[in-house]
């Protein structure tokens, strides 16, 4: 059987070492998904537009916003602040009761093959669902409190 650990992907220098660093089902997921490109962090905030002035001072034209979201685009990567309603509509997972200070809700990974991700998650027994847009979402309840979304590379 082929080695599909993080070490075999050439990312070993970024991975922890020692007994706690043995390959997990998530290491195999990343290795088998083959390509992970840009990453998007998701933060749920009661009023994303209220953050506009601060982030515009910091990032200028990289900040885009509308009523339910504020996005900071930095090259291929981005941080998205979304309202609780927008988050709920997209993922159908519960949010924490107290959102007054915001919540780091999760991350979006662009991958080469959603079918490979789905197969790895299924084999590993990881709970997931398809979103209305067709992406794969691993709920916060099984991913250390943060939603993981996998979307296909364009």
**Predicted pLDDT at 32:** 54
- For residues 98 and 38, the answer to whether their CB atoms sit within 8 Å is no
Tell me the C-alpha distance between 125 and 142, whole Å.
Answer: 11
For the chain, how many structural domains are there in total? 1
- In tens digits, the chain (154 residues) has pLDDT values of 443 322 233 322 333 344 444 566 666 665 655 455 667 899 999 999 889 988 888 788 999 998 889 999 878 888 999 999 999 898 888 888 788 888 888 999 888 899 998 998 898 888 999 999 999 999 988 887 889 899 998 8
**Predicted pLDDT at 38:** 62
**Predicted pLDDT at 5:** 28
Q: What is the CATH number of the domain that holds 81?
A: 3.10.180.10
**Predicted pLDDT at 134:** 94
Tell me the C-alpha distance between 100 and 28, whole Å.
Answer: 36
> Do the domain assignments include residue 15?
no
Give the containing element (helix H, strand E) for 71: strand 69-74
> Do the domain assignments include residue 131?
yes
- For residues 52 and 65, the answer to whether their CB atoms sit within 8 Å is yes
> Do the domain assignments include residue 50?
yes
- For residues 33 and 111, the answer to whether their CB atoms sit within 8 Å is yes
DSSP label of 46: S
Range of the domain at 84: 33-152
């Amino acid at each position: 059987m082929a080695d599909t650990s993080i070490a075999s992907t050439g990312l070993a220098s970024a991975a922890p070492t020692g007994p706690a660093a043995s390959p997990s089902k998530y290491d195999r997921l990343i290795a088998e998904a083959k390509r992970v490109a840009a990453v998007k962090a998701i933060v749920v905030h009661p009023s994303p537009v209220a953050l506009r002035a601060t982030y515009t001072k910091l990032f200028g034209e990289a900040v885009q916003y509308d009523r339910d979201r504020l996005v900071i685009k930095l090259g291929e990567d981005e941080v998205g602040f979304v309202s609780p309603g927008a988050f709920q509509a997209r993922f159908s997972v519960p949010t924490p009761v107290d959102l007054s200070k915001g919540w780091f809700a999760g991350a979006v990974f662009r991958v080469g093959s959603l079918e490979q991700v789905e197969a790895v998650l299924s084999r590993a027994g990881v709970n997931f669902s398809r979103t209305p847009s067709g992406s794969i979402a691993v709920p916060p309840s099984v991913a250390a409190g943060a939603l993981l979304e996998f979307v296909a590379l364009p």
